[in-house]
Structure 1
């Protein structure tokens, strides 16, 4: 698929895609997404975990008209339900779940402590689907639901191993989203598994191939280009299909 730059009208918040609910935006890719959408003039409700101040709060201080901060821990079902209740009278064009964690890249899955395995799997695979199931009614019938996946979630692309638990959590996320798509087939929403590329963040590390300014604007462009195309799309930041 080839993406094209989506043009927004003079009031982006009233345009398709203008109202965004972004889960997990305190730093890294989520923070950069909030900044990119706010720069476009879109209305962004972005979440953090916990009560401490984050870089998102600093951004919101400079973008008060575009960014509203909410709190949720996606590993806590009660907090997800409470977020839904607080937003029950709102509607969004895009729900995007970015929240996720990683773990030490070395070592096999068998060597991973059970608590660590559970932490990664619950945060990266179970939590996002709980969020989607709980908040889906806040998304317009022809809106978009997206999650931050990874090229490492591709089973076909796993030629070299490594990062076993993280890979497994993203492959599980992809499978769960495919099941969600199967249950909602025929509906008008666009579903997206986004592989942002290997980006220099705290999670991606300093040796990653891409800078934030190379990944995030393209992620936004790709999401815009997929709007109005129902069904599940597993794509990278340039809009290229990723092999399952």
Structure 2
């Protein structure tokens, strides 16, 4: 009998939303490969027959290629690139050192697409490649300003993802950009609207409903479509 268990590769799962997604998908019976940039005791505690833990820095192309080799033969219904940074996010662009702004752009926009390009051949037919975007990446919805370098990096991610989907349109997988909500994490802060459990439950529901669909969608954790 064919193995019908779904499988996911969650990239950037050492804490917060990534860690919560690993827990949620594992609880739903998925087989999960979870990555960390450096050793995460919280993620390590989840390691089991159903949860495999790997180490990779998405900004390191050689490390990503090595991970691709280590996972030879694996196929995933979901590849979800969660990893991202918000360094000096509250500062206006002119107050952010060029090197910092460039690193935010590389980590949030360039590296996720390069990772997806490397792992596109590992996505099962009808699967999904997801990117952790943000409502702050919406140009049309930006009426309050702020978070300038972070906003720009997520807007760039959205743009790159659309081109990525066009380039791979015949491959048989869908592309999903996800806004997790304003979540009480290290990045979101204590004043955020929702907790991790609410966000990851919604995102998991969204992803499971998206499986089998092609094209690209930009949605929040409740499944609502966002303006580009």
Tell me the TM-score normalised to structure 2 length: 0.96
User: Within the alignment, does 1:14 sit opposite 2:14 as a pair?
Assistant: no
The structure 1 residue matched to 2:43, chosen from 34, 49, 56, is: 56
Using the TM superposition, name which of 105-114 and 82-91 deviates more. 105-114
- Aligned equivalents of 1:106 and 1:234: distance in 2? 24
Map residues 80-229 of structure 1 onto 2, 5 A cutoff: 80-229=64-213
Residues 151-210 of structure 1, C-alpha deviations (whole Å, 9 max, x = no match): 100000100000000101100000000111121234421110000100000011111101
Gaps of 5+ in 1: 1-12
Deviation at 1:233, TM superposition (A): 0.5
2:46 alignment partner, SS class: helix
Residues 48/159 of structure 1: CA separation in 2 closer, same or farther (3 Å cut):
same
Partner in structure 1 of residue 50 of structure 2: 66
* 8 Å CA contact retained: 2:165, 2:174: no
CA distance in 1, matches of 2:170, 2:121: 16
- From 20, 23, 26, the equivalent of 1:32 is 20
Q: TM-score scaled to structure 1, two decimals?
A: 0.90
RMSD: 1.2
Q: Residues of 1 paired with 2:215 and 2:173: CA distance?
A: 7
Checking the alignment, whether the CA contact within 8 Å between 2:84 and 2:107 is kept in structure 1 is: yes
